[in-house]
Amino acid sequence: MITGLPYIFANREQQQLFLFDKAYIAGVLFKVGGLSTLIARFIVQFFWSPALACALTALLLVLSAFITWLAFRRSSSDWNLALLCIAPALLMGACLCDNAMHFDVLISWIMCITALAVYRNIKSCKTGWGALITVILYFAAGPAAIVFAATAFISDCFKGRFASALNLVVAFACALAAYGFAWVPTMKAALTPALFYDLDATMPFVHWAPWIALPVVAIIVGVVDLVRLKESRLLLLNCVLLIAAAPISIGIVNKFYQKQVATLYEYEYYTVNEDWDGLIQSCKKHEWLPLTANYLNLALSYQGKLCDDLFKYDQRGPMSLIITHKERGVDVTQAHLMFAMGNFAAAQDDSFNLLLSLNGLCPAMLKMNAVIDILRGADGVADRYLTMLEKAPHYRKWAKQQRRFLWNEEAVEADEFLSSRRKSFPEKGFAMYGDPMTELYSILECNPADKQAMQYALSFLMLAKDMNSVCQIVNRFYGSPALQELPPTVQEAVLFQSEYLRNVGNINALDEVWCLEHGVTHETIRRFEAFKQASIQNGGKAPARFRGTFWYYLTAVQI
């Protein structure tokens, strides 16, 4: 079983936000496929739980299989056909593992087969009703109307009725009108399920599988009626077809399942819910990747344990804290990291762009923008974000809690987080993201009380094995609100640098008195002496019992 799939489904909740707002509902509803999109977003708002996301998706797929049976059954006791009707649902479920395929596609699919079930039971004026259903379905569920028209025509042909070809003509006319009036971006989107796929990506052909399966079911049912196949043989045929659909579905899942993407979504789930213990446990069960280390250290920083516990985990240089790119793009991970570091300009740059790059409003990024604007004192802008979040049931409580900070300096100053982080804006302006360490220096200069930024700065330098800069920060900031006490790992770095400088002849620099005055304890000095003795006895190699210390990382880990 692919364990990351629940988080892939759950991540959809972070890609589209349903708002109980008339303007929002009207904006979504009055477009091609608008009803399917609106229903999909209403359902996806409950995907904040991976278990609930999987359960709701499974329920809808089972419902689709049942409605498919209603649309094609020959009698109320024709349960042999039920096995065949499961196959399209399996294929649709597999396609949903591709997050570029919007959840709207499942709703449009259910609307399509529901229309088939209704059409099947129409006895009079079937052609006229079929045309009307096609028009309504096209504007409610998009290109699903074309699949409806094609499937209905195939079913009618086996019964000697050919007038339903009109449904196909009407469906294509609707598509031409939608493209001609620019209601859809491309002709491909007007005619195919590509309407429900990310605009900046090309929909793979495998996503046609469930749509092709419906006409195929119609053909099989029609042929079975013609040849009057025995029930036992029909059951066997349905079993064979269902078994054949299973490996195809697995193949589709494997095509789109990417372990690293699923892992990112798992980390994101714990991050947006601020479940730092859960995030640490999640990171520990996955193989080491820079992404894994980034999220693990992010959780440690929010727990105030980044420096203390840094070397208890596998660290491989500064990239364990943040992966820097020559050309910085929109990156949800980077938004979280910049926010944690106190680099709110870079965090807002990322979080604002992420609002526009996903399928809809991203709740976590809306929250981040609201908090940053409260910190900036841009209460009017923050009010707009909070107003949107108040219209989403899952985020209403949080938004109402934040509203107390708007135009209320006393409330901001009384809040430990806001009052301490508000000072992290450089005096020269709202600085943008450059080199992470350079920005951290600026943040600490203007806000020596920012404990999280201090943790990141010291950890970055220790991971870079830059003991000289560690000592400079200790010399400059020791005793400030963010560095009242020296974490054990930082004490270890300071002691090592002190020893090194004395060994190269700089006897006046960072002597033992200086170390003691700057937070190094006698216990750390005793441990350092033990480390040196053990290293000599171990042939110059770092002893395993000192794993988890800066000394072990410095001498045993290559970066």
pLDDT tens digit string along 171-219?
A: 999 999 999 999 999 999 999 999 999 888 899 988 998 999 899 888 8
Q: Which of 472, 473, 470 is nearest to 489 (CA)?
A: 470
Q: What is the pLDDT of residues 261-297, one digit of tens each?
A: 889 999 999 999 999 999 999 999 999 999 999 999 9
pLDDT of residue 249: 77
pLDDT of residue 255: 75
End-to-end CA distance of the chain: give it in Å, rounded.
Answer: 35
pLDDT of residue 326: 52
497 vs 486: CA distance, rounded Å: 15
Beta bridge partners of 197: 101
Stretches in the chain below the pLDDT threshold 70: 1-2, 76-77, 226-243, 325-330, 356-359, 426-434, 505-509
88 vs 140: CA distance, rounded Å: 21
545 vs 409: CA distance, rounded Å: 51
3-state secondary structure (DSSP) of residue 16: coil
pLDDT of residue 1: 47
36 vs 391: CA distance, rounded Å: 20
pLDDT of residue 515: 92
Length of the chain: 559
pLDDT of residue 479: 94
pLDDT of residue 358: 53
The C-alpha angle 30, 33, 34, rounded to 5 degrees, equals 35
347 vs 210: CA distance, rounded Å: 41
Q: Who's near 159: CB < 8 A, 6+ residues apart?
A: none
Structure tokens, 533: 């003795």
- Are 350 and 338 in contact by the 8 Å Cβ rule? The answer is yes
Count of CB atoms within 10 A of residue 162's CB?
Answer: 11
pLDDT of residue 357: 57
Distances (CA, A) of 546 to 293, 500, 519, 553: 21, 19, 21, 9
Determine what percent of the chain falls in helix, strand and coil, rounding each to the nearest 5. Answer: 70, 0, 30
- Are 81 and 187 in contact by the 8 Å Cβ rule? The answer is no
- Are 9 and 53 in contact by the 8 Å Cβ rule? The answer is yes
Residue 540 zone, left/alpha/beta (φ > 0; ψ -120 to 50; rest):
left
